[in-house]
Amino acid sequence: MFVLEKRPSPSQFWTYATPVLAVILTMIAGGAMFALLGKDPFIAIRTIFWDPLFGEFAFYLRGQLLVKAGPLILIAVGLSLGFRAGIWNIGAEGQYIIGAIFGAGVGLAVFPTETRWIFPVMIVAGAFGGWLWAMIPAILKTRFNTNEILVSLMLVYVAQTILSKAATGFLRNPQGMGFPGSRNFSTYPAARNVELIQESGMHWGVVAAFIAVIAAYVLLQRHMLGFQIKLAGQAPRAARFAGVQPTRLVVLCMGISGALAGLAGMFEVSGPAGQISIDFASGYGFTAIIVAFLGRLNPLGILLAGLVMALTYVGGEMASTNLNLPSAAIQAFQGMLLFFLLAVDLLSNYRIRLLNGRAV
Amino acid sequence: MNRRTLMATAALGLGLVFGGTVNAAGMDKVKACFVYVGPVGDGGWTYQHDQGRLAVIEAFGDKVDATTYQENVPEGADAERVLTQMALSGCNIIFTTSFGYMDATNAVAAKFPDIKFEHATGYKRDSDNVSTYGARFYEGRAVIGTIAGRMTKSNKIGYIASFPIPEVIRGINSTFLHAKKVNPDATLSVVWAYTWFDPAKEADAAKALIEQGVDVIVQHTDSTAPLAEAAKTPGVIGFGQASDMAAYKPSPRVSSIIDNWAPYYVKRIGALLDGSYAQVDSWEGISAGEVEIGEITDAVPADVKAEAEALRDAIGAGTYHPFTGPINKQDGSAWLADGVTAPDGDLLGMNFYVEGIVGDIPQ
C-alpha cells in the first residue's frame, strides 16, 4: 500500500504538470463517458479538442475561441489576485452583470448621438459598475467582518433580478413592441465594441484581456502590491509584520476583480451579445473561477487555461450538434476538468510513498 | 413571394397539367436543424419543440434529416456561433425556438441567404429568408379561464406570470375575461416570477397564492412545481402548461394548454421539399392544431367540461374570438366596442390589463 507524505515545499515539477495531467485524465474519463453514451470516444474527443482548431470550419471557430476566452481570461485574472491573497470573490458573475448594465446604460442613455467619446465612457462606466458591486462585500467584510464568499455569491442573484428588470423595464428597447431586451448595439456604431479584424473574433474585450494578463504579470513579479498579495496568501502573520494592511488588501483585490469583471460584461454586451436581455448572463463569472485555478492563479497560465476552456465550449457545442451528445454530457465533461485538477493538485503538496520505500 | 417560389408554383402547375412530377425548385432531401433554449427533458417548452422535430421525421422519413439539434443554447454570441456552425455544416432550414434568438437569427440569416431561418415568437424579418412563427395561446387561456371561473369556490384565482411581455399579458387578460364571464365575483391575483423555468421560485409563488386563499392556480411558467405545490392542499387545482403534465391527473391538474409545433414544422419542411416555401409571419391557434386543450378530467363537473369544450370548438371553428368587445382597459377607457374583435396588432403589442384586474404591470 502507500501513504501520503507532505512535501517540505510544493513540487515545482508537479505545479506545472498537474494541469496537463488533469486535461489528460479528463479526456480519458470523458471518453469513457462518451463511450457509455454510445458514441465513439475518439471522434468525440477529436471533435472537442481538434476540430475547432484545425477542422473544416476552423477559419470561423478559431475566432470564436477568442470571443469565448476573452471574458473568461479578463475575469479570471482579476479573481486570481484575490485568490492568491486568500480573498474569495465568488460573485464575479454579478459584477459582470452590473458592469454590463452600467456600460450599456451609458450608451443607451445618449442614443443615437454619434461621437467618438461614447465608447470610452462606456468602458469606464462598465468598470465602475463592477467595482461598485464588488465594494459591497468588500466593505461589509472590512467593517463588519462578514464572509465575502457568501455576500458576493448572494449578490449574484440580486444582480440577476436587476438584469431582468433592466431587460423588461428601464433599458427596454422603446421600439421593441413591448418585448424584453434593449436596443441592439450592432445598430449603434458609436457605442459598438467592433470586431477589429473581420472574422478574427478579436474585439476590444480580447485586447483588454491580453493587457490584463501582462499587467497582472508585472504586478505580481515587480510591484510591492504583488509581493504583499503573495505574502498575505502564503503567510498571513508574516504579512502583518511586514506592514501589509489586510483592510486595504481586501478593498484593492475585490475592487480590481470587480472592475475587470464589469469590464468583461461591458465588452460582451456592446459586442458579441449585442444587447441587454433577460438571459444575458451565461455563467462567465463562475466559469472564470475554474479558469483561474486551471491556470494556477498565474496570469500566463490563465491565458492558456482560458483558451482551453473556450475550446471545451466551442468544441463541446460541435460535439453536441454533430454527434448528438446531450448538452449535460458536455457540462459533465467540463466539470471533470475541475474535479481532476483539484484531485491531482495533491501531487504538488504531497508525495505518494509506497510502503516498500519508493517515493513518487 | 420571391422569384424562386414563383417558379416553383409555375412548375407545380405544369406538373399537374401534364401529370408528371416536374419540381424545379423543390428539394430531394432537406436537412432541418433546431436550436433549443432548454434541455429536451424539461417536459415543457423545449420538449414540445422536440416533439415537433420528431413529428417531422415521422412525416417525411428518408426525405428529411432532422437529427441535428442543440440544447441549452444561451442567447447572444453563443446563439450566433451555433447558428453559424449549423449553417456551415449544411442545414437547409434552421428553427430557432426562443424569443431571445431574434437578433442572432437575423444576423446569421443575412450572411446565408440560401438557408431558411424560422424564428419562434419574434417579430423581426430583416431578410427574405427569415420567417417568424408563434401560436395563439390566448385561445387556450380562454378555455382554461372558463374552467377556472366555474371551479373556484373562494372566487380567488392565482396567476403565476413569467415576464411582463405582451404574450404573457395577453394570457392574463384572456384568462380573466373568461373567468369573469362565467363568475362575476372572480378576482385574479398575479405573481411575477421573472423566470420561464425555476421550480423553486414557481413553488414559492404557488405557496404564497394558496396562503392568500387562492384555490385555482394558472401558470405561465414551465415547471410542474406549482402543480406539486397545489397537490399538497386539498381543493386546490391547476393546469398543465406547454406540455400536458399528465402526471398530476386527475387533480390538481384538471386540464392543460399544450403547445403543438408539429403541424407547423411538418408544413414548412413539406413546403421546402415541394418548392412552395415562402417567407411567412405565422400565428395560428386552436384551428390549426398548434394550441391544444389537454384532457379535462373528471375532477371537473360534466356541465363545466361541456361548456369548456364548446368554447374550444367555437374558437377552433372561428365563430368566437376570445377578445370580442365590449372590453375596457383597466383604467376604464374603452378598448373594443360592442361586437368588435381585437386586431392582431393590438394583441401583439398588448401592454395593458383589461378592466377588473387589480394591480399594475411592472414597468
CA A149 from centre of chain: 16
Rg (chain B; Cα; Å): 22
Judge whether A28 and A298 are in contact, CB under 8 Å.
no
Provide the pLDDT confidence category of residue A305 given band limits of 50, 70 and 90: very high
- Axis crossing angle, helix A92-109 with helix A148-165, rounded to the nearest 10: 30
SS3 track for B195-256: CCCCHHHHHHHHHHHHHCCCCEEEECCCCCHHHHHHHCCCCCEEEEEECCCHHHCCCCEEEE
Among A278, A287, A333, the residue to mutate for chain B (most B Cβ within 10 A) = A278
The residues, ordered by sequence, that sit 6+ positions from A7 with a Cβ below 8 Å of its Cβ are A348, A349, A350, A351
The residues, ordered by sequence, that sit 6+ positions from B360 with a Cβ below 8 Å of its Cβ are none
Whether residue B2 lies within 8 A of chain A, CB to CB, comes out as: no
Q: A60 and B84 in contact by Cβ < 8 A?
A: yes
Q: A321 and B70 in contact by Cβ < 8 A?
A: yes
For the stretch A146-160, pLDDT in tens is: 999 999 999 999 999
**Total number of domains in chain A:** 1
Q: In what order do the strands lie in the sheet with B64-70?
A: B64-70, B30-35, B93-96, B116-120, B130-135, B281-284
Indicate the average pLDDT of chain A. Answer: 90
Give the minimum alpha-carbon distance from B77 to chain A in angstroms, rounded to a whole number: 5
* Long-range contacts of A160-165, Cβ-Cβ distance < 8 Å, separation of 24 or more: A160/A94, A160/A97, A160/A281, A161/B194, A162/A97, A162/A98, A162/A101, A163/A97, A163/A101, A163/A276, A163/A278, A163/A280, A163/A281, A164/A278, A164/B163, A164/B194, A165/B362
- Axis crossing angle, helix A246-270 with helix A92-109, rounded to the nearest 10: 50
Contacts of B89 in chain A (CB under 8 A): 57, 321-322
Q: A184 and B194 in contact by Cβ < 8 A?
A: no
Q: A277 and B351 in contact by Cβ < 8 A?
A: no
Whether residue B65 lies within 8 A of chain A, CB to CB, comes out as: no
Q: In what order do the strands lie in the sheet with B237-242?
A: B187-192, B156-161, B216-219, B237-242, B253-259, B291-294
Instruction: Report the distance separating Cα B11 and Cα B288, nearest Å.
Output: 28
Among residues A156, A154, A100, A153, the alpha carbon closest in space to that of A128 is found at A100
Searching chain B, which residue's CA lies closest to the CA of residue A64? Answer: B81
Q: Which residue of A181, A322, A326 is in closest CB contact with B89?
A: A322
* Alpha-carbon dihedral sign for residues A64, A126, B103, A277: positive
Q: A170-179, A307-316, B313-322: which range is least confident on average?
A: A170-179
pLDDT of the residue at A284: 93
CA distances from A147 to A78, A85, A134, A260, B180 (A): 19, 15, 13, 21, 51
Among A179, A186, A269, A280, the residue to mutate for chain B (most B Cβ within 10 A) = A179
In the stretch 156-185 of chain B, residues with CB closer than 8 A to chain A read: 163-166
| Residues counted in chain B | 363
Q: Is A286 exposed, middle or buried (0-12, 13-18, 19+ CB in 10 A)?
A: middle
Query: What CATH architecture does domain B3-136+261-284 belong to?
Result: 3-Layer(aba) Sandwich (3.40)
Fold of B138-258+292-348: Rossmann fold (3.40.50)
Searching chain A, which residue's CA lies closest to the CA of residue B67? Answer: A324
Q: What is the mean pLDDT of residues A164-173?
A: 89
Searching chain B, which residue's CA lies closest to the CA of residue A175? Answer: B349
Give, for all 363 residues of chain B, the pLDDT tens digit.
Answer: 343 433 333 333 333 333 333 344 788 899 999 999 888 887 789 999 999 999 999 999 999 999 899 998 988 788 999 999 999 989 999 999 998 899 999 999 999 999 999 999 888 899 999 999 999 999 999 999 999 999 999 999 999 998 888 889 999 999 999 999 999 999 999 999 888 888 999 999 999 999 999 999 999 998 899 999 999 999 999 999 999 999 998 989 999 999 999 999 999 999 999 999 999 999 999 999 999 999 999 999 999 999 999 999 999 999 999 999 899 999 999 999 999 999 998 998 898 999 999 889 887
Residue A96 has pLDDT above 80, yes or no: yes
pLDDT of the residue at B16: 36
Give the minimum alpha-carbon distance from A95 to chain B in angstroms, rounded to a whole number: 19
Whether residue B138 lies within 8 A of chain A, CB to CB, comes out as: no
Instruction: Report the distance separating Cα B33 and Cα A77, nearest Å.
Output: 38
Whether residue B304 lies within 8 A of chain A, CB to CB, comes out as: no
pLDDT of the residue at A359: 57
Provide the pLDDT confidence category of residue A33 given band limits of 50, 70 and 90: very high
Rg (chain A; Cα; Å): 22
Judge whether B37 and B98 are in contact, CB under 8 Å.
yes
Q: B75 and A318 in contact by Cβ < 8 A?
A: no
Instruction: Report the distance separating Cα A306 and Cα B324, nearest Å.
Output: 57
Q: Which residue of B68, B123, B165 is in closest CB contact with A168?
A: B165
Whether residue B360 lies within 8 A of chain A, CB to CB, comes out as: no
User: Could you tell me the CATH number of the domain that includes residue A256?
Assistant: 1.10.3470
Instruction: Report the distance separating Cα B207 and Cα B158, nearest Å.
Output: 10
Judge whether A109 and A245 are in contact, CB under 8 Å.
no
Tell which wins on pLDDT, B131 or A14.
B131
Q: Which residue of B69, B70, B351 is in closest CB contact with A178?
A: B351
Q: A328 and B39 in contact by Cβ < 8 A?
A: yes
Among A280, A309, A321, the residue to mutate for chain B (most B Cβ within 10 A) = A321
Q: Which residue of B99, B102, B362 is in closest CB contact with A169?
A: B362
Residue with cell 508585472: A218
Q: B70 and A320 in contact by Cβ < 8 A?
A: yes
Q: A57 and B89 in contact by Cβ < 8 A?
A: yes
**Residue A32 dihedral angles phi and psi, to the nearest 5°:** -65, -40
Contacts of B45 in chain A (CB under 8 A): none
Q: Which residue of B76, B86, B163 is in closest CB contact with A180?
A: B163
Answer yes or no: is A132 within a domain: yes
Answer yes or no: is A161 within a domain: yes
Whether residue B232 lies within 8 A of chain A, CB to CB, comes out as: no
CA distances from B349 to A120, A174, B28, B38, B170 (A): 36, 12, 40, 26, 9
Instruction: Report the distance separating Cα A77 and Cα A312, nearest Å.
Output: 19
Query: Which one-letter DSSP state was computed for residue B122?
Result: -
Enclosing H/E stretch for A327: helix A327-344
Q: Which residue of B75, B166, B349 is in closest CB contact with A277?
A: B75
The residues, ordered by sequence, that sit 6+ positions from A221 with a Cβ below 8 Å of its Cβ are none
pLDDT of the residue at A113: 84
* Alpha-carbon dihedral sign for residues B212, B215, B221, B222: positive
Instruction: Tell whether pTM > 0.90.
Output: no
For the stretch A318-350, pLDDT in tens is: 888 888 888 889 889 988 988 898 888 888 888
Q: Locate the domains of chain B by residue range.
A: 3-136+261-284, 138-258+292-348
Whether residue B89 lies within 8 A of chain A, CB to CB, comes out as: yes
Answer yes or no: is A230 within a domain: yes
Instruction: Report the distance separating Cα A9 and Cα A349, nearest Å.
Output: 7
CA B116 from centre of chain: 21
Q: A85-94, A179-188, B55-64, B145-154: which range is least confident on average?
A: A179-188
Answer yes or no: is A31 within a domain: no
Give the minimum alpha-carbon distance from B65 to chain A in angstroms, rounded to a whole number: 12
For the stretch A112-162, pLDDT in tens is: 888 889 999 999 999 999 999 999 999 999 999 999 999 999 999 999 999
Whether residue B67 lies within 8 A of chain A, CB to CB, comes out as: yes
Q: B39 and A268 in contact by Cβ < 8 A?
A: no
Q: Does residue B34 sit in helix, strand or coil?
A: strand
Q: Which residue of B37, B103, B165 is in closest CB contact with A178?
A: B165
Searching chain A, which residue's CA lies closest to the CA of residue B38? Answer: A327
For residue A274, give its domain range: 52-297
Q: A321 and B85 in contact by Cβ < 8 A?
A: yes
Among residues A202, A179, A203, the alpha carbon closest in space to that of A192 is found at A203
pLDDT of the residue at A20: 87
Whether residue B70 lies within 8 A of chain A, CB to CB, comes out as: yes
pLDDT of the residue at B321: 96
Give the minimum alpha-carbon distance from A164 to chain B in angstroms, rounded to a whole number: 7
Contacts of A282 in chain B (CB under 8 A): 74-76, 78
Q: B100 and A279 in contact by Cβ < 8 A?
A: yes
Whether residue B90 lies within 8 A of chain A, CB to CB, comes out as: no
Q: Which residue of A61, A181, A279 is in closest CB contact with B74?
A: A279
Give the minimum alpha-carbon distance from A326 to chain B in angstroms, rounded to a whole number: 7
Among A67, A173, A177, A325, the residue to mutate for chain B (most B Cβ within 10 A) = A177
The three grid cell numbers given for residue A344, joined into one nine-digit string: 491531482
Answer yes or no: is A341 within a domain: no
